[in-house]
Structure 1
Amino acid sequence: MTQATSKTAGGAANRLSRRQFNSLLLASGVAAPAILRGAAARAADSVRMAALLDLTGGLDIYGKPMHMAMQMAVEEINASGGLNGKPLELITYDTQSNMQLYAQYAQQAALQDQVDLVHGGITSSSREVIRPILKRYNTLYLYSTQYEGGVCDLNTFCTGTTPAMTSKAPIPYTIDMWGPNFFSIGADYNAPRIMANWSRSFGEAAGGKQIANEFFPLNVTEFGPLITKIQQSKPDFICSALIGAAHLGFYRQWAAAGMLGEIPIMSFTFGSGNEHKMLPPEDSEGIIVPCSYFQELDSPANKDWVARYHAKYGEDAAYQNNVSIGGYEGTWLWATAVRNAGTAEREAVIEAMQSGTAWNGPGGTLTMQAENHHSARDIFFGKCTGGKWEPFKTWENQQPSDTEGRCDLIADPNQNIQFGAD
């Protein structure tokens, strides 16, 4: 399905809700399709949320802990009275790290299971597979992981961090701490490239310089030539957006070359797949990361949540990071909007979200921004020490300025674009 098709279909869907469509059919004497009649009957019994996550395949290291967090949120919501007197039903689809299954299950969730919300997608490519499908079929979509930013779509809400949130304050802070010259490295796809562009932009504004920019396919495991190039360039620090198991090779080889304490590393992505648990502590010592959540955050709300999480899952409780915690945060933020709206109807929930729905959780307060459908939130700087994170700096209420002055869904609800760093 092309983006152009999704825009046309989505624009028409935005003007007509399922309830309005049924009413028009009844008024004209035409019977509603069975799938819509089924949705009306089901709506009296429960509110439905679909989870589209990679529970098997190469991305299950992200999907499994995210699903655990999502399940926990659903249980808590139901234990606290449900959503406007109705239980929240979670329908889970294992997308198996397969883009074709993302497309298939997104359509099934919207048309067959008639869910009120689809919450899921981990990579940007999975998001961009399902986003136009859900827009076309008028099914609300929530994307809660860290990503490259810029999505501007009335039907989509993003609660994770964007590069502007993790670069705008952290890059100047790192320059002040280590020096102006940095060497950017990352995985070779859109998200790390956009992260590098934002790093350059905010770095230059702070008097820094991005002296190199190198990208590597996800299956690359040999980084000897890169390490030699970095040694010859002598940057003040490395700015990394390497991704996945293969790219762990860089950190192993960097430490083996004796460079870990010589040129420091600031990474936007390290830890998002619990890489610090996969490497020996000495191979990740001193790496710093700006992100929205560490399980070690020293706050009463987080300590309480971590205790309940481990009590629920016991030995199976995977470490929760800034990606997986999105399953919990996003579900609760949407549920808060549903409660504020008094209904799970799409248009009413969009209006409630745009009214500044806020929710306080383990990572602090998330506040939805009306114009761009992204959450403002706290950003933490953490240092990897002994295989654990030590948060040492906090920037409160960081704004998703990636779309500032460009995305305004209040003024123009028909916007449907992803802006870059330019």
Structure 2
Amino acid sequence: MTSRREFLAGSAALAASGLFAAVPGARAADPIKFGSILDMSGIFDAYGKPMDMAMRLAIDEINASGGLLDRQVEIAAYDTQSDMALYTQFGQQLARRDKVDVVHGGILSASREAIRQTLRKSKVLYFYNVLYEGGVCDRNLFVTGVTPAQQVEIVVPAAIKKWGPKIYILAADYNYGQITARWMQKYAADAGGEVVQTDFFPLDVADFGSTIAKIQSAAPDIVVSALVGGAHLSFYRQWAAAGMKSKIPMASTTLGVGNEHKVLTAEEGDGILVAYNYSSEIASPANERFLKGWTDKYGDTSLIHEIAVSNYQGVHVWAEGVRKAGTLDRDAVIAALEGGLSIDGPGGKVAIDPKTHHAVLDVHLMEFAGQKLKVLESFAQRQPVDTQGVCDLVANPDDNTQYEIKI
């Protein structure tokens, strides 16, 4: 992913900016304050920069429609440079100095946890709009990305049905990769599969020669990957260069989330199986409006990816909650979001599960074809059943736990 910095270059160390335009009826002196905190530079900029762009498009749309509560929305946005310490610093700054009404941000689970407790204690509503491992139970938090039960339960059985039961798992060595690997093992077993090996890799590992040799020796039917970040992208290139792509097929829960399939050649990426909420190929009025809005604002739609769309949808979910509540009061907005609220987003209907504050989403089984995401099959309104197994904020509204779901 880092090879794409020529067109994903973010702002400098700190990109704090405001967006406000007075319109009739708006209170120019009293805008709604919207906080954003993302990796817009550094090793995760390929994720963060398009997320920032999507957020700004959503705020533009909200302001152009008259804003919220007859007020415009003003952005305070910070670039963490992919540094967890800056997440902590800027999270405190948004809550205590900028006094924002809501924060949308975080990419890695570690970045979410670096700011979640600060925002909860400060009573600043927080949206985490990224696919992750599931299990966070916090009434102050809303999650709009896919969880393993929404995604892994689709892609792993589909890969087994297509290619065979023996699976070799590769995953990033932090909580997302470790927990997702266990979900892969569960859903493989449920589908009659067998995991022959699971290997974990630190985020800075870029040489996979010995791993490729191990996979060749194990002779699985499928490789399933939960690798993350620019260094790990090297695996797919090395795999193809070793002549393995035509011999052992692959599925992934992460490839393409940061547009990696557009960095890889078609020869390196085509045929890899994934399951996500979004593809630009989805034919719907909501997606057509989104793509037109993006084109009008930015021109190049090639930067759009899964978690950029999740961020866009998350902003509109929050806005709908404010409209329904008729106030910015945190508890009133939470109640509105818990009350059966939904929007029609580029990836389909997005609803909020009141027990977990996670999104109910459409998920699409897809494969890479010509550096695009070709939809093979769609699964409507997938519930976050993994997190539902441990979290019930209706019964226990004071819960504040990152559960490690027993699998």
Per the normalisation by structure 1, the TM-score is: 0.87
Task: Indicate which of 303, 312, 328 corresponds to 1:328.
Answer: 312
Q: Secondary structure at the match of 2:327?
A: coil
TM-fit CA distance, 1:130:
0.1
TM-fit CA distance, 1:233:
1.3
Alignment map for 1:164-175 (pairs within 5 Å): 164-175=149-160
Q: Does 1:345 align with 2:329?
A: yes
Q: Does 1:269 align with 2:249?
A: no
Matches of 1:171 and 1:158, distance apart in 2: 23
Matches of 2:290 and 2:49, distance apart in 1: 18
Q: Does 1:373 align with 2:357?
A: yes
TM-fit CA distance, 1:421:
3.4
Matched with 2:239 is 254
Q: Secondary structure at the match of 1:328?
A: helix
Alignment map for 1:88-237 (pairs within 5 Å): 88-237=73-222
Matched with 1:418 is 402
Matched letter for residue 88 of structure 2: A
TM-fit CA distance, 1:227:
1.1
The question of whether the paired residues in 2 share the 8 Å contact of 1:198 and 1:421 is answered with no
Q: Secondary structure at the match of 1:84?
A: coil
TM-fit CA distance, 1:44:
7.7
Matched with 2:53 is 68
Q: Does 1:305 align with 2:303?
A: no
Matched letter for residue 269 of structure 1: T
TM-fit CA distance, 1:45:
1.9
The question of whether the paired residues in 2 share the 8 Å contact of 1:53 and 1:120 is answered with yes
Residue by residue over 1:126-185, the C-alpha shift from the partner in whole angstroms, topping out at 9 and shown as x without a partner, is 100000111111111000011111100011110111111101233222222211121110
Task: Indicate which of 58, 62, 69 corresponds to 1:77.
Answer: 62
The question of whether the paired residues in 2 share the 8 Å contact of 1:294 and 1:320 is answered with no
Q: Does 1:48 align with 2:33?
A: yes
**Residue ranges of structure 1 left out of the alignment (5+ in a row):** 1-41
- Shift in alpha-carbon separation, 1:421–1:197, aligned structure 2, 3 A: farther
TM-fit CA distance, 1:43:
11
Matched with 2:4 is none
Q: Does 1:363 align with 2:363?
A: no
Matches of 1:212 and 1:43, distance apart in 2: 59
- Shift in alpha-carbon separation, 1:290–1:139, aligned structure 2, 3 A: same
Question: Which of these two proteins has the greater Rg computed from alpha carbons?
Answer: 1
- Shift in alpha-carbon separation, 1:204–1:43, aligned structure 2, 3 A: farther
Matched letter for residue 246 of structure 2: G
The question of whether the paired residues in 1 share the 8 Å contact of 2:50 and 2:304 is answered with yes
TM-fit CA distance, 1:318:
4.7
Matches of 1:299 and 1:269, distance apart in 2: 24
* Farther-moved stretch of structure 1 (204-213 vs 298-307): 298-307
Matches of 1:102 and 1:143, distance apart in 2: 13
Matched with 1:279 is 264
Matches of 1:141 and 1:258, distance apart in 2: 45
Matches of 1:404 and 1:282, distance apart in 2: 40
The question of whether the paired residues in 2 share the 8 Å contact of 1:295 and 1:319 is answered with no
- Number of residue pairs matched by the alignment: 380
**Residue ranges of structure 2 left out of the alignment (5+ in a row):** 1-26
- Shift in alpha-carbon separation, 1:374–1:181, aligned structure 2, 3 A: same
The question of whether the paired residues in 1 share the 8 Å contact of 2:159 and 2:273 is answered with no
TM-fit CA distance, 1:218:
1.3
Q: Output the aligned Cα RMSD.
A: 1.5
Residue by residue over 1:370-394, the C-alpha shift from the partner in whole angstroms, topping out at 9 and shown as x without a partner, is 0101001011111111222211111
Residue by residue over 1:272-309, the C-alpha shift from the partner in whole angstroms, topping out at 9 and shown as x without a partner, is 11111212221112111111112222333213321221
Residue by residue over 1:242-266, the C-alpha shift from the partner in whole angstroms, topping out at 9 and shown as x without a partner, is 1111112211111111111211110
Matched letter for residue 277 of structure 2: S
The question of whether the paired residues in 1 share the 8 Å contact of 2:28 and 2:72 is answered with no
Per the normalisation by structure 2, the TM-score is: 0.90
Task: Report percent identity of matched pairs.
Answer: 46
Matches of 1:365 and 1:261, distance apart in 2: 37
* Farther-moved stretch of structure 1 (362-371 vs 179-188): 179-188
Matches of 1:169 and 1:334, distance apart in 2: 28
Matched with 1:409 is 393
Q: Secondary structure at the match of 1:184?
A: strand
